[in-house]
Chains A and B, each alone.
Chain A
């Protein structure tokens, strides 16, 4: 079974803090994604990576950056957390063999106060 794990299920941070969300997948997938999920807005793509050290902006990258130093790990960074970044963050991975199914982690619920 494909397993995508996220470092925290719940996180509470203060405004202005630097926040790291970690995601690890164990299936040697080339592609990894970060989404945020908000009620009434569905899942929106923040950033994705199609190879180690390669990244591309998604639909809502403002206020976020990412890092992919190793194939299995994809980190989302909030340089200076703000209250409007309070959300559920979902990581996903996808094989590089023209497969289509994305595999999701359980999510990190981040609250910025």
Chain B
């Protein structure tokens, strides 16, 4: 069935270090891969996404890479700051034939950035 695995479940880094979160997916038809950030007491919010026709995308300190052959994608955060501390979720789209695509989410990574 449709499945997205995410690692690690927790990640502690020092301020200024880089953080990397990795996900693998099972459905080869998936073509959209978003990353959501969930801060304490809030709902998840999209921070970056990538489509299957692109291998890498950057937005300031955040980047996402995609390897379609291996079915894995990663989130990279450089120069981490304490406000990056949150739970991060990856997701992969599941086509439904027509209309929108469902998302299957990973299990989440709790990132803690220490000053």
When C-beta atoms are compared, the residue in chain A nearest to B90 turns out to be: A42
Report the bound CA distance from A29 to B107 in whole Å.
Answer: 27
A42 B6 Cβ-Cβ under 8 A: yes
Give the dominant DSSP class at B's interface. Answer: strand
B residues near A41, Cβ cutoff 8 Å:
107
B43 A4 Cβ-Cβ under 8 A: yes
Report the bound CA distance from A43 to B107 in whole Å.
Answer: 7
Chain B residues bordering chain A, tally (CB within 8 A): 25
B42 A106 Cβ-Cβ under 8 A: yes
A104 B45 Cβ-Cβ under 8 A: yes
When C-beta atoms are compared, the residue in chain A nearest to B43 turns out to be: A104
When C-beta atoms are compared, the residue in chain B nearest to A96 turns out to be: B100
Report the bound CA distance from A90 to B44 in whole Å.
Answer: 9
B residues near A4, Cβ cutoff 8 Å:
43
Give the dominant DSSP class at A's interface. Answer: strand
B107 A101 Cβ-Cβ under 8 A: no
A100 B102 Cβ-Cβ under 8 A: no
Partner of B34, one of A31, A45, A100, A106: A100
Q: How far is the CB of A78 from chain B (nearest CB, A)?
A: 20
Partner of B41, one of A90, A101, A106: A106
- Give a binary string over A43-70; 1 marks a CB under 8 Å from any B CB, 0 the rest: 1110010100000001000000000000
A83 within 8 A of B: no
Partner of B102, one of A48, A90, A98: A48
B residues near A58, Cβ cutoff 8 Å:
102
